[in-house]
Each structure stands twice: as structure tokens, then as C-alpha cells.
Amino acid sequence: MIDADEMPELPDPFDIAPVRLTVDLSALAENWRDMAKRSGSARTAAVVKADAYGLGLEDCGTTLYEAGARDFFVAVVQEGVTLRAYAPDARIFVLSGIWPGQERMFFENDLVPVIASEEQLAFWMGVIAELGDYPCALQVDTGFNRLGLPLQDALALAEDVSRPASFSPVLVLSHLHSGDAPSAPSNKAQLESFRQVSAAFEGIESSLSASAGIFLGPDYHFDLTRPGIALYGGEAVGGMKPLRPVATAAARIVQIREAAAGGTVSYGATYQLARPSRLAIASVGYADGYLRSLSGSGVPLRAGGTAGGYGYVAGHRVPVVGRVTMDLTIFDVTDVPEGAVNAGDYVELFGPNIPVDDVARAAGTIGYEMLTGLGLRHERRYLEAE
């Protein structure tokens, strides 16, 4: 039996992890400051829903709070409860609103429900009638047809002199459905509708713009902006260079293998090698959020002959070949000089050399899904903000 005292010390888990994620908190803080500057006279919130877009609510929330954010948006009440510990005196808005049984969670953690439907409004009126004045926000639908009171109902509510005095919204908000397409006529149509809302609720702060809307200019900023994807280094507007990259995902290469011309690769034998090749087998797959649609062949999105995903190793972009599997993905490293890449090295999946949105496009999706879909097996390292 091996003596435990003779065993080598345990290495840093990050150094030996099959898949790992590096989160640059300095870049996150700088991106928030950048969006705050672009927001002009409007205050700038931070959207941290979905575990801060997959990058970690605790660390990202703390960093954004320390950078100066004092308004936060989460999707569900449980996220707000978690965030409260890291943003002690911030306003935390819960976008999905409030449901029966959640009152205590809201009140004890000082969370602000975003009332998003007629049913929630009726429930909320009952809550404040029983428990007294408590702040809320009111979402108005200006054309998205997702959440929010219909425009005319919201305007009627603003003029309703019989509404309870304890109904005291601190914010009215709406959401642009095509903010990432600056020339879309609907942006101006939604802006004009929201201006009616803002005027009707005079004296109450207004918010229309998420990341993309901020780039549309001051007319869209109102009192509070709500950047999300731009903070995390994703594209807010199609074709516009994103801010600083925040997340880098990488996978360990398990094996480099030689394969003959004419051989096939991965499930279904859908990819045939046209030349003698060197293949790097990496410890990442769709269980880690590296989507199956990034396969080099053999999936519907690739049926038209379009290329799949790429990795980056030893200064080279290397294509995915064959199907991505649950735990493994195969990259063609034939064009990387021999000896420059070896088993145990790491291939970048996305990061400073391959933007997350480029990977997303190759998968037929968007950067939001790549980030929020990161699997549980990524060992994480946070580079602390200065």
C-alpha cells in the first residue's frame, strides 16, 4: 500500500482540469465603466441573471458592485436572494415579478418585483393593501409581446386616481425587441410609445435600453440603462466589435493521434479525411456546453456544407472535425507544426483569440447561449479586478 505521506501534493485543480474557464474580472469592471460612460447622464445598472450570464453571480456581482453599480437586474427571486449578500445596499429588481408565496423572500431581502402582467398587478395590489407600502417596478409592453402591461392599460393605470396610495413604482421599464438592428423602424416606434409611458408616470424613473439600446444614443437612455451581454464581452449589436473579452474557455488535449487519408472521424463516419492528418482529442463536449451543432459534419446545421467550430492552439485556428460528442471533441491540428502541440496542452474554445460570438455563429446560435450554457465541469479561475 502506498503511504499517503509519500504521495505528491495535490496540484491546483485548475491546472489539471479537463475543461476550464477563466473569467477576467478586471475586463468585466472595465466593460461596466465603458457602458456607464456610453449611457451619458443616465445611471447604469448591471444585468446579472442566469448566474451572471454563466460566469458566476457571486464573483461577477461583487466585481460590478465594487465597480460602482448600484442597480441590478435578475430574472428570478432566488437569484436576487443570492445577490443580496454581495450587493448590500443596491436596488435589486426581479424581472419575472412576484408570485404568491414569494412575499417573504422579497421583503426580507429588500428585492423589487417588476410587475409584468395584469395578474401580477392584481396580486400585488392585494399584497400592499395588507402589508403596506413597498416599492415595485412596472413593465410595459411597447411591442415585444413578451412581458409587460399593454400600453393602453399602463396609461390608464397612470391616470387612475383611485389606485391605492401604497402602489408606488420606483421605475417603469420596457424592452426593445430589435435594438441590435439600429436601422429597424420598430426601434423608433417603441421609443415613441415608451415616451408616452414615461410622461404618464411623471416623477418616476424610466428605463428602456439594455446593451444594444445604449448604442442607439441618448434618446434611448432615459434615467437608467440595463447592460447585460456587453458587460460579459459579447456582441450587443450585430457586426459591432464587442468590448473586452471576459471569458476564456479551454479544454485539455487528451491525445494526439495520426490518421490516414481516407479514414473517417467520430460517430456516423460523417467526416472523411482528405489527407494524412494529426488529430487532437480534447476533453470537451456537449455536456460542457460545447454544442453538438459545432460539429464539423453530421448534424443538420452542417448539412449544407458550412464549416463547424474552431479551436485555437499554438498560434493556429484548428477546425472541429466529425461530430462533437458528450465528453470529447476532435480538432484537426495537421497544420500546426509538429511538436508545437502535445497531449496535456489546452485548446482555446473561445476567448481572446476566438470571440465567443464567432463560435456561436458557427453553432447557429448567439453568444448568450454559449455563455449561459456552460456545463458544470468547467474548473473556474477568476482574475481579480484591480
Round to whole Å and give the CA distance between 243 and 210. Answer: 15
CA 304 to chain centre: 29
Is 7 annotated in a binding site? The answer is no
- Per-residue pLDDT tens over the stretch 96-117: 999 999 999 999 999 999 999 9
Q: pLDDT-derived band of residue 161, with 50, 70 and 90 as boundaries? A: confident
Taking a C-beta distance cutoff of 8 angstroms, is the pair 80, 71 a contact? no
Mean local confidence (pLDDT), 298-311: 71
**Strands, E, within 273-371: which ranges?**
277-282, 310-313, 316-319, 329-332, 346-350
Mean local confidence (pLDDT), 351-377: 94
pLDDT at 136: 97
Say whether pLDDT at 5 is over 80: no
Task: Indicate the pairing of strand 264-265 with strand 271-272.
Answer: antiparallel
* DSSP-derived secondary structure for 152-219: HHHHHHHH-TTS-TTEEEEEEE---SSTTSTT-HHHHHHHHHHHHHHHHTTTSEEE--BHHHHTT-GG
Round to whole Å and give the CA distance between 287 and 189. Answer: 42
Task: Indicate the pairing of strand 205-207 with strand 224-225.
Answer: unpaired
Taking a C-beta distance cutoff of 8 angstroms, is the pair 131, 142 a contact? no
pLDDT at 6: 73
Q: pLDDT-derived band of residue 4, with 50, 70 and 90 as boundaries? A: low
Which of these, 260, 249, 252, lies nearest to 342 by C-alpha position?
Answer: 252
- Per-residue pLDDT tens over the stretch 220-257: 999 999 999 999 999 999 888 899 999 999 999 999 99
Which of these, 281, 378, 386, lies nearest to 370 by C-alpha position?
Answer: 378
pLDDT at 8: 76
Taking a C-beta distance cutoff of 8 angstroms, is the pair 295, 352 a contact? no
pLDDT at 64: 98
pLDDT at 302: 52
pLDDT at 184: 95
pLDDT at 51: 97
Q: How high is the mean pLDDT of the chain?
A: 94
Which of these, 207, 210, 211, lies nearest to 223 by C-alpha position?
Answer: 207
pLDDT at 66: 98
Q: pLDDT-derived band of residue 1, with 50, 70 and 90 as boundaries? A: low
Q: pLDDT-derived band of residue 301, with 50, 70 and 90 as boundaries? A: low
Phi/psi for 204 (5° steps) reads -110, 135
What percent of the chain shows pLDDT beyond 90?
Answer: 87
Is 35 annotated in a binding site? The answer is no
Which residues have a Cβ under 8 Å from the Cβ of 11 and sit 6 or more positions away? Answer: none
Q: pLDDT-derived band of residue 297, with 50, 70 and 90 as boundaries? A: confident
| Catalytic machinery residues | 49, 267
Domains and CATH numbers, the chain: 39-232 (3.20.20.10), 247-383 (2.40.37.10)
Task: Indicate the pairing of strand 167-173 with strand 149-150.
Answer: unpaired
Instruction: Give residue for cell 391616470.
Output: 159
The count of residues in the chain is: 386
Taking a C-beta distance cutoff of 8 angstroms, is the pair 20, 380 a contact? yes
Q: pLDDT-derived band of residue 328, with 50, 70 and 90 as boundaries? A: very high
Instruction: Give residue for cell 493556429.
Output: 316
Cell of 84: 443580496
Q: pLDDT-derived band of residue 175, with 50, 70 and 90 as boundaries? A: very high
Which of these, 253, 231, 255, lies nearest to 242 by C-alpha position?
Answer: 231
Cell of 57: 453571480
Taking a C-beta distance cutoff of 8 angstroms, is the pair 194, 140 a contact? yes
Say whether pLDDT at 298 is over 80: no
Q: pLDDT-derived band of residue 9, with 50, 70 and 90 as boundaries? A: confident
- Per-residue pLDDT tens over the stretch 255-279: 999 999 999 999 999 999 999 999 9
Q: pLDDT-derived band of residue 306, with 50, 70 and 90 as boundaries? A: low
